[in-house]
Structures are given as structure tokens and as C-alpha cells.
Structure 1
Amino acid sequence: MNETSLHLPPPANLAVAYTPVAFRAAFSVLLQLDARFADIVRKAREPMIAQIKLAWWRDAFAAEPALRPKGEPLLQSLGACGDVISPSALEDLVSAWELLLGEGEWAAQDVAKHTVLRGRAIFGSYAAWIGEGCDVSSVSHQWALDALRLEFPSKLSVPNNQPLPALPKGRKLRPLSILAMSVRKVTGLRLVGHALTGW
């Protein structure tokens, strides 16, 4: 496991631990990038400064690996993943967080676009890597929305009245179901039990 994945919250570390070895480092990097971008948005006092930071990341992703800025551990970890993480996934992730740089409560259409882009970058990438051929879009959108509710309660106050989509089934998709359950406030032994058994 990537050493810097230790900076992820326990549910994300659990999801990474259940990821197939071939994709474990890449999944960890995606989750770490997502957490970094969320932190940029969370700490933004001036949206323009946050925009500049996210633009820096977009430019770094677009550069050839050898020409990327030095000294940023996440970029080094990304380079070590080779071409496992697609450029479109990185673009989606940056774009998802750029949508939320405004002040006050977020517009519903921006939140909807964010959930599509963020879910596709993380859940969609993982599903493509393992080649299960299943549609995880609905659970990925719900995960991204529920995560926002936990991460930014003052920005997203509308309650969720929609039925929750079914969790992905099967051992290979367990990392996604762990993430989905964790933002549904399933924690501790219950989440570990799900990781072990799928229930």
C-alpha cells in the first residue's frame, strides 16, 4: 500500500486494503487526490486562490510525467502508477471540485454535475480497472452526494429523500461498497464486517 495512504480516513484505507494489488496504489492515489481537492475547497477564503491551486494540479496532470513539478508526494505517487489512472479521470476530479468554489450554498445543478464527475473519476475508474462490466453510476452519484453532506454540512442542507441505490455486489467490487456504506454513516465493526463478508 502507498505509504501516504495512511493520511486517508479509516474507511478509505479499508477500501484500499480490499483493492486488488495491481490497482491498490492507483486507487489510493485517486482517493488522496480527492481528499486534497476537498481540503482546498474547504479552506478556500478566496475562491480565486482555490481556483489557482486547482489549476496548478490540472497543469501538473497534463504535463509529461518527467516534467511534472518535483517535491509533491502525490504527484510522485501518481507517476509511480504509470498509466493506470486515465487523464480523463484526473480531469473529471479537478473539474468536479472546481464546480464548488462559489460562496454560500451550492447551486443544485453544480452539485449534480459534481456528483457525476467525482463518481465517474473514482467509482468509474475502479470498475473499469477490474473489468466487471457493471454500471456503478447510480451508486457513485449517491456516494459523492452523501460524502458532500458529511464533508460540507453547511453548504448542502437539502435532505436526501431518494431511495438509496443497491450496493455493488461481489468481492472485486467490495472497495466501492465500503466507500458507499461509510458515507451512509456505517462505521466501526459493522463496516469491517461488511468488508469481510459483503453483508
Structure 2
Amino acid sequence: MTVEDLPPEAQVAIGYALPEHRGAFASLLAFDRNLARSVAGASEAIVGQLRLAWWRDALAASAGELPRGNPLLDELAKGFGEHRPRLGALVDGWEAVLLAEPLDRSAIQALKAGREAGWLALGTTLDPGADVPAVRLAAGRWALADLLSGLPQEDRTPELIAYAQASMGQPASMTRAMRPLAVLDALARRSLVAGGAPLLAGRGSAMVALRAGVFGR
């Protein structure tokens, strides 16, 4: 999966990364997208679980035992280094979504926690001084807005919308190294206000992204 395969808001956010960090941001977002597709495309739960189990084992492997021939895994190894095993929480989150029939708050909370863990691992890797509560808050808002915006209209229940909107609040200020997350957070807040609208929709979204990309919130 290349950057061009990512959603438009992800492509915009990556554009605000420091040049030396763009590969790490792209690999996290591509990995999340890959897991989502594995879950959505699984004809049976067991098929999806097998795919997720491969990733869980690969992420936990030592550097010398990494499976060969998977470009995305190679990018994750390069971008996350010793923090790569922490991405197993993201796999767990998507597995909760896979097994939920129907999608319930417990599964949504698990995915939110897994996505937060992925962003926290990236923050630790790229900027040890990153504000952990701020990263968790921004990542959680993006996690909910992205999920809500991708659901069919009939699945956006009032309860789900209310749960997602409960994460609203003040912007989370990001360091320069984590500026792409600030962009996604700003777009997520805008999406949640609109009840789950696409993150990059309407003329105002570009200005929202620009402001967050420049000022970090």
C-alpha cells in the first residue's frame, strides 16, 4: 500500500510531517488501513483472525526473525524500531471489531484503545518528549471520527454519535514532530460536530488542516 492508497485526509496530514518522519507516519496509517481491509474483507471470522494472527506474530518477532517479503512490515520495522511490538494493540482492536456482532461500544472502545496505542508508540519513537495525554486524546478523537464517518448512515445510531461526540473538547497541542496528528485531530473534531461527515469534506476542511498543520492544534 502506498501513500496514494490512503484516504485523502491521511495524505494531507502526512504532508505536514518532517521529511525524515513521513515514512513512519505513512506506515502506521497504511497498517491501520490494511487491518481494516482484512476485517472488512473476511468471508468468515476465522479467516480474518488468521490474517490478524500473522500480523500479531510478525510484530512480536525479534529483528532477526522478521518474516521476509512484506514491504509494509519492513516499513513498520524501520519506522518503529524497538517499539514495533506495541502495534499488537492495534491488531487486537481490529480483532474486537471483527468479532463484534453487531458492532457495539465494547468493540469500538477496543479499537479506539488500539489506535491510541499505535499513535503513542509512534510518538515515543519520533519524539520522546511528546505530550502523552495530548497524543492519546487526539488519537482517540481521530479513531472515533474515522470509524463513524466510514459507517453506513443507517449504522450511525444516536447512541454511537453521542459516544463519539463525547470525546469533543479543546484541541490537543502537538509538537512539531507529531504535527500530522494535529491535522487529523482538527479534521476529526470538525467531522464529529457534523455527526460523522467525511473528515476532508467541504471548502473549510482545507483551511482547518492548514491551521493545524502550521500551529499544531
Shorter-normalised TM-score: what interval? Answer: 0.7 to 0.9
Instruction: State how far apart, in whole Å, the 1-side matches of 2:104 and 2:174 are.
Output: 36
Output the CA distance in 1 between the equivalents of 2:156 and 2:98.
13
Report what 1:152 is aligned to: 151
Runs of 5+ consecutive residues of structure 2 not aligned to the other structure: 192-198
Cα distance in 1 between the residues matched to 2:131 and 2:186? 21
Map 1:40-51; keep pairs closer than 5 Å: 40-51=38-49
Secondary structure in structure 2 of the residue aligned to 1:164: coil
Q: Deviations over 1:123-172 (max 9, x none)?
A: x2343332233512233222211111122346553223426122222561
Q: Residues 55-134 of structure 1 correspond to what in structure 2 (within 5 A)?
A: 55-81=53-79, 83=81, 85-88=83-86, 90-102=87-99, 104-122=101-119, 124-128=120-124, 129-130=126-127, 131-134=129-132
User: Shift in Å at residue 19 of structure 1?
Assistant: 1.8
Using structure 2 for the length normalisation, give the TM-score.
0.77
Percentage of identical aligned residues = 27
Contact 1:139 1:166 in 2 (8 A): no
Moved more, 139-148 or 51-60: 139-148
Query: Which of 166, 171, 184 matches 2:170?
Result: 166
Are the counterparts in 2 of residues 119 and 140 from structure 1 also a CA contact under 8 Å?
Answer: yes
User: 1:193 maps to what in 2?
Assistant: 210
Question: In the alignment, is the contact (CA less than 8 A) between 1:106 and 1:156 conserved in 2?
Answer: no
Q: Say how many residue pairs are matched.
A: 195
Supply the distance in 1 between the matched residues of 2:137 and 2:79 (Cα, whole angstroms): 27
One-letter code of the match for 1:182? L
What do you get for the CA RMSD once the two structures are aligned? 2.6
What TM-score, normalized by structure 1, do the two folds share? 0.83
Higher deviation after alignment, 59-68 or 149-158? 149-158
Q: CA deviation at 1:84?
A: 6.0
8 Å contact kept, 2:89–2:118:
yes
Structure 1 residue runs of 4 or more that deviate by more than 4 Å after TM superposition: none
Kept in 2, the 8 Å contact 1:37–1:94? The answer is yes
**Which blocks of at least 5 consecutive residues in structure 1 are unaligned?**
none
